Each structure stands twice: as C-alpha cells, then as structure tokens.
Structure 1
C-alpha cells in the first residue's frame, strides 16, 4: 500500500499563519522531505480562497519535480468542472516530463465552488460540466489528435494536444467526498478512486467501495486491478497525548470556520476525541497508533493508498515536517511489515 501526504497549503497570516509566499516555499521543503523519508505520494488540492495558496498545483509540484527522485506528484483534486481539460492535460504532461514520469491527476468537482463564478461557469451545470470535461480529458490522454464535441466547450477537430506525457497513460484518479454516483462513475470507467473521509467512521465507506467494484466488474474491468485510496486529516507526535493536545485547537478552529459557512454543528473536544478513536476519521497520535488505524482502514476498505492531510499554517512548520518524517520513517515501516505478512 502506498502512503503519502495531501495539503491545500493553508495560510491565514491574520490568524497566526504564514504568508502565501512563505507557505509556497514551505511546500517545496515538505515535498523534498517526503521524498527523502520514502513516502510514495505528495498531492496538492486546488483551491481559490484567501485561506489557501494552492490555486495552481501543477506549478508548485513542478518546482519540486527536479529536486526529488521517486515520489509521485499529484493534484488533490483538480477542479475539472471549472477548468479546461486541454490545459489540465498540458500542465500535468509537462510536470510528468519534468519529473520523469511521476505526475498524476486527481479529478473532482470540488468541495468549494469559488472557481465556478471566477472562471465564468454556472453552478446549475455542476454535474454536466464534470461529466463532459472528464470525457474530454480521458480522450486527450489516450489520443494525440483529438476530435471531440460537447455542450459546454468549443468542439475540437483533429487537433494535437502537446506535450505528451512521459507515461504512456497519465494516471487520472476520481476524487469524491462519498457520493454513490461518483463511486459508480469511477468504477464504470475503470479509474482509480480516492474518498475524502474527514468525519464519521471510515468503515462506513465500505458500501461505496462495494458499489465501485460492482460497477467496474459490470463494465468489464478486472476488480483485482482497481486502486482505492482515502484522504483524511492527521498529525503525528511522539505520544498520543502530545499529538491530541497540539492538534485539537487548530483542528477545531478550521472545522468551525468552514462549519460557519456550511451550517455544520460546532466542533467540540468530544467531537475531536470521537474522531481520534480507533474507528474514527482522524489519524492523530503516536506512530504505532496511527499505523494501527491505517491498517484497519486498509482492511475495511481494500485500500491500495492512504494519504494523510497535513496542513494548517498556524502550527509551527517544524511540527508539520516532523509529522511527515514520522509517517515515512516510523508509520510506513510498520504498515508495510504487517501487510507483507498477509
């Protein structure tokens, strides 16, 4: 199973965080460290808000491509509905060439919707935009000369899209927050899927994994070759108590900020402690405990990849780097050793 990092490059200098410029420089340091400690993936989510500085993941990842050796570099996610698939492919094909074949795209509709009015799209077309643009992106990655027509973009008539990725087929994952329709779509297309699990019990996503596999088999894909990942918040320290005490205030501040926008209930210490339970969605604790939780998720959801969201600029950067270091040097060896026994 692959292990890695996700981030949205959180930055709130008015709330104790660093500036956007500093957060971008920190990201390069994080990618380099993740590569050095043997993690498999570093992924940046596209956002267009003042509290994140990740509007252009491919550019940030490209800045680290030539200073890393093996780590895969991905978006998490690319908001495909409000972007142009031609440009998305070109950006990530360029990244793929620079990194010698380590680029990936996670395509999603986005949990935030600021990009739609920003780029002139109507939210009433939310579903149609994603389906149409995903169709075009998948065609581009398999066909050098593209002929295509749709309802929300000008047609393309036998035109080449360049550069071509170094990988024969640039990996495209489907990112979802847990909608059954998204799981079925990914399975039908035979694409790898990543579930964002930020609350509740991860084991509840087993029904979506089942839907995903059934859809893949129905469409003629080999379910044994499917890739399944999850993305969840996490923080690692030398002891469970130290990790929990350090992480709760920043987690509560972030969840309550977003909660005010979305009408969520107030995030409490009790909510946090429930999420830190072995069956909860927060991977917070010492390396042994975090490894135990990852192994449980792998068992329940047939995971081939686990990505830990490591962010919040109000935490000292050295503590984020320490989490990345512990995930690679302590957690990963435990997980790999246990899985090797199966």
Structure 2
C-alpha cells in the first residue's frame, strides 16, 4: 500500500489487434474486408464494456491485412465517446513523420482528444521493401524520423535537416493539436529505442511476445534512469503481449494453440522463427512465459505479476490470433473487460 506521501499508481488496460483474419463459426476464414469491419465492431464492444484503450498495429500481410489502422480507428471514434484509440505500432521507419503526425492529429480531432500513437522501428519488416526502403538503413531511418517527429510535437514551425528525407525550413504543420497526443515508443528489446524514448520524453511500450517478461526488467530500469538523468519526470511504461481468455484454462488452450501454431509456422517462412512445439507453448503460457492464455483468474494473476515485476502501469492484451472464430474473440474481449481487469486491479490494490 502507498504511504501517506505516495500517490497510488493509476493502472490502465487495453486491447490490441493486428486485424487478424478471423473466421465464421463453421471455420470459414473471413475476407480482408470482413476482418477490417470486425475490428471496428471489436473497438465499439471494448468501449461499451469499459476497456480504456483500443489499439491497431500496422501490418501488410495476408494474415494481418491492416495497413491503415488510423482509418479504422476513425470509424471506431465515430461510434464511441470514451475509449482511447491508438496504434499498437506505427512503423515510423517506413513512413513519413509528418504524415504520421497529420493522421493522428486528425484522429485526435475526430475523437475529441482520445488519440495516441506508438512509434516503432518495425519488428515486422514487410513495409520496408513495400515502400522502397533498404533494411541496411534500419537504424538511421528510425533515429532520424523519430527526431523529426519529436520536433513536430513541439507545435512550432519546423526547421529540420537529415539524410532520409528532404529538409524543412520554418514549415508549419497542420492540423494543430487542441488536445494532448500521447506518444509511445514501442520496443521489442532494442536498448537504443529505450534511450530515444527517454531522450524525447516519450512513453515506453514493451512488446513482449516470447520468453520471460522479467528479462525486460533491465530495459524498464534503463528507461527510468535515463528519464531521471535527462531531467524528465516519471513516464508510464506499458506492456503489449498476446493472449486469449476463455471460461477455463483447458478451453483457452484448446482454442488458442492450433491458431498460434499455424500463424507462427507461416511467419517462420519469412522471419526465421522456430516452429513451437506443444511443450514450448505450454511453457510460454506458464507463470514465466509471454502468452496470457487461460481462465480469467489465470490471466489476471499473470498480468498483475508482470506489471509488478516491470514497474509498469498499463497492459494491453493482443487478443486475436490466426483463424479464431469471431464469437471466440468477442467472448475473449468480454471476459477480459468484465472479469480479468477487475481481478487485476484487486490484486494490485492488495
């Protein structure tokens, strides 16, 4: 419990999607258009159930046909009034910082100040060849573009010069913000990204998709120490991890495992992932793994532990995986909102 001089920490909880191709009840895969429309309905449902954040991650593949998440979030914004809307990741390295700012400042206006953006280097790199970028420039693209985005966020006319795009001189960037636009830097393990987030006073979002969450502890500590040395106050640390909630542990495993295996198997052909065994999967859903799969009690306990170990204040569950039927996804969302999150809050309070 906090002392008399400490303020209790405020925790927030969200849902992330990459627009995964879900399926009908009979197992027939949805089309890309069906999956995009389903994401809108999931965002609306999350708002109705009291979830605080709904986020869409940029991807450009057949499994994840979600290249324009901000457009989808605009549709969600038009049908909601409370939930915060953001990117689970925007691949800044293969985008233009000015256009990213303009899209999310527009979303911020449409939603009445409920937008936020997470900027990343791109652990999924399909956007680089798609838009004509060389992976050999992976680091310089992110470093320079994040620097430019930070300049735009100051709200003044921008003068900037770099090597990855034409310079700007005293350039006004519109639309101006009339409400804060929180900026997060998504990190999958790169310490340089942690340092850049701290340098600009941006929030940190740890994408934990394999292994023990505790191994990200040094990155969380590095971020906190860097903020202190740079003279910034405390900034929030958020967690992004995949999972699936069902009524029982066995049911959650039965629904999630075959879809997880299929997705990782397909991704292994492009990204060199090892194909997981059932034993490896069970280790990942255990107390020290990165997957949050199980009953509401099981998932809540694991989320509470992760937030505590990493001194984080936000958790976002990547709730969709592979060809899971849409009714299973909606049940996942409902259980997460109405049973998991209240349990986590109670565990953290005590």
Normalized against structure 1, the TM-score is what? 0.95
Tell me, yes or no, if the aligned pair for 2:188 and 2:208 is still in contact at 8 Å. Answer: yes
SS at structure 2 position matched to 1:76? strand
Structure 2 residue corresponding to 1:236, chosen from 232, 238, 245 = 245
| 1:184 match | 195
Cα distance in 2 for residues equivalent to 1:297 and 1:259: 27
Moved segments of 4+, more than 4 Å: none
Cα distance in 2 for residues equivalent to 1:91 and 1:200: 34
Structure 1 unmatched runs, 5+ = none
| 2:47 match | 35
| Aligned-pair CA distance for 1:12 | 7.7
| 1:154 match | 166
Q: Is the aligned partner of 1:119 residue 2:131? A: yes
Structure 2 residue corresponding to 1:323, chosen from 309, 316, 332 = 332
User: Is 226-235 or 156-165 further displaced after alignment?
Assistant: 156-165
| 1:25 match | 37
Tell me, yes or no, if the aligned pair for 1:189 and 1:216 is still in contact at 8 Å. Answer: no
Cα distance in 1 for residues equivalent to 2:274 and 2:96: 36
| Aligned-pair CA distance for 1:285 | 0.6
Deviations 1:171-190 (A, max 9, x none): 11000111122222222322
| 1:61 match | 73
User: Is 83-92 or 149-158 further displaced after alignment?
Assistant: 149-158
| 1:335 match | 344
Cα distance in 2 for residues equivalent to 1:16 and 1:184: 45
User: Is 176-185 or 287-296 further displaced after alignment?
Assistant: 176-185
Deviations 1:246-277 (A, max 9, x none): 11100111112212323332211101110111
| 1:166 match | 178
Structure 2 residue corresponding to 1:2, chosen from 12, 33, 46 = 12
Tell me, yes or no, if the aligned pair for 2:118 and 2:186 is still in contact at 8 Å. Answer: yes
Deviations 1:103-122 (A, max 9, x none): 01100011122212222222
Tell me, yes or no, if the aligned pair for 2:187 and 2:205 is still in contact at 8 Å. Answer: yes
User: Is 89-98 or 307-316 further displaced after alignment?
Assistant: 307-316
Structure 1 residue corresponding to 2:288, chosen from 279, 290, 298 = 279
Cα distance in 2 for residues equivalent to 1:151 and 1:265: 36
SS at structure 1 position matched to 2:125? coil
Superposed, 1:46-125 pairs within 5 Å as 46-125=58-137
Q: How many residues align?
A: 337
Structure 2 residue corresponding to 1:296, chosen from 286, 297, 305 = 305
| Aligned-pair CA distance for 1:313 | 4.8
Q: CA RMSD of the aligned region, Å?
A: 1.5
Tell me, yes or no, if the aligned pair for 1:188 and 1:218 is still in contact at 8 Å. Answer: no
Tell me, yes or no, if the aligned pair for 2:236 and 2:314 is still in contact at 8 Å. Answer: yes
| 2:215 match | 204
| Aligned-pair CA distance for 1:72 | 0.8
Tell me, yes or no, if the aligned pair for 1:198 and 1:281 is still in contact at 8 Å. Answer: yes
Tell me, yes or no, if the aligned pair for 1:47 and 1:112 is still in contact at 8 Å. Answer: yes
Structure 2 unmatched runs, 5+ = 1-10
Deviations 1:269-305 (A, max 9, x none): 1011101112211100111111100000011001111
Q: Is the aligned partner of 1:140 residue 2:152? A: yes
| Aligned-pair CA distance for 1:129 | 1.0
| Aligned-pair CA distance for 1:128 | 0.8
| Aligned-pair CA distance for 1:35 | 0.6
Deviations 1:129-172 (A, max 9, x none): 111111111111212422211111111111211112231x4211
Cα distance in 1 for residues equivalent to 2:341 and 2:124: 31
Normalized against structure 2, the TM-score is what? 0.93
Deviations 1:46-83 (A, max 9, x none): 11222212101111100110211111111121111111
